[in-house]
Amino acid sequence: MSHVVIRGIPFATRLRAAKGGAKELLERDRARAQKFLAGKSHHAFVAAKAKHASSTGANSSIDVTDSGVTYTTQVGVGSPATDYTLLIDTGSSNTWIGADLPYKPTGTSHNTGNTINVSYGSGSMSGKEYTDTVTLGPDLVIQNQGIGVASTAQGFEGVDGILGVGPADLTQGTVSNTTEVPTVTDNLYAQGTISSNSLGISYEPSSTANVSNGELTFGGTDSTKYTGTLNTVPLTTTSPASAYWGINQSVSYGTSQTILNTTAGIVDTGTTLLLLATEAFQAYQKATGAVEDSTTGLLTITSAQYAKLQSLYFNIGGVTYEFTPNAQIWPRGLNSTLGGNEGQIYLIASDLGSSVGSGLDFINGFGWIQRYYTLFDTGNKQLGLATTAYTDADTN
């Protein structure tokens, strides 16, 4: 197989801030976390915006556009294809359409006769299962991909559905007469389109919305998007984190105060914030001197406190990853998306809403993934992490 990198001009995308500001964002993240804790998959709040593409190979990249709070990608279904705007979610695994734009069957469509029902942290869908041709890009075409076609969908305003790229096990119990449904990544690999069953994700922090600053690479990594070594760590065996992209990590505030001993949690594109088990969150709040902002529900600090803010250190697989003070704050240029005040400093760490020892004690969400290149490696049951040119950026 040759080497494929897909690049091009990004589609226009609009800012998709939560209507209820940060409080709605927090509610969605926590509802999502409660579904994870219950061992269920659920709906993305962050996804990816695809670019038009060209060229051919063994791994394939889709560029994505940061829309402030969410990412979406254009996915073609059928032949000729109809384009649907889907959320990309590493925390669920069903791909489905029909929340807004209706499904348009073509000669490649096949009704399997099965039904599909998926419950999410802040939404749900039910409908029929079809197999069809799914096009992620000119060089990323999947034959006979199992998809859901929604007859009812709740909680998905402004999008057509989800592109689920979590572990295929999460599809168990969602489709009648079916053990599990292979994901788009599984099928790209099985059909020989990509050379490994993996997905690389590069996001870059930005203080403006609607900029092209991310890339999804199916079948490997894009080495131009990270610096140094890509370190890999086995997925955790601790339940319920083990059902998702779960790892073990410890977290320290500064170089001397451990706020979370080594424990299991997940890395998740669909969570916006950095969520920590209640005891770890309380220790962080005390260490920073932050107070809860009544308007947004987020922690806020003064400029003087920000000047003294220490880095957080994440120890994952024996490697320490520094999460700088600037990485810990919401981009001040995007405070309006939170319903927040201009110039105020909001922290992105929030309370997971459960105690340490639940089997899922943290979620390293979108704000964290913006600082580290991430490889979701299904074939080798591991997660890869690397620093990027933006790990230490002061863009926020």
Which stretches within the chain are classed as H helix? 21-37, 184-190, 278-288, 303-308, 366-369
Residue among 66, 268, 293, 377 flagged as catalytic: 268
CA distance 315 to 374: 15
What whole-number distance in Å separates Cα of residue 373 and Cα of residue 115? 37
User: Which residues, 6+ apart, have CB-to-CB distance to 317 below 8 Å?
Assistant: 231, 232, 233, 234, 247, 248
Verify whether residue 100 is a known catalytic residue: no
Residue 331 backbone dihedrals phi, psi, to 5 degrees? -55, 120
Query: Which of the following is catalytic: 89, 160, 351, 361?
Result: 89
Do 50 and 73 touch, CB atoms closer than 8 A? yes
Task: Say whether 89 is catalytic.
Answer: yes
Residues sharing a CB contact under 8 Å with residue 244, sequence separation 6 or more, in sequence order:
36, 41, 90, 91, 166, 167, 170, 266, 268
249 token code pair: 């990590």
Q: What is the rounded distance in angstroms from the CA atom of residue 125 to the CA atom of residue 112?
A: 18
| Helix H or strand E segment including 76 | strand 72-77
Active site residues: 89, 268
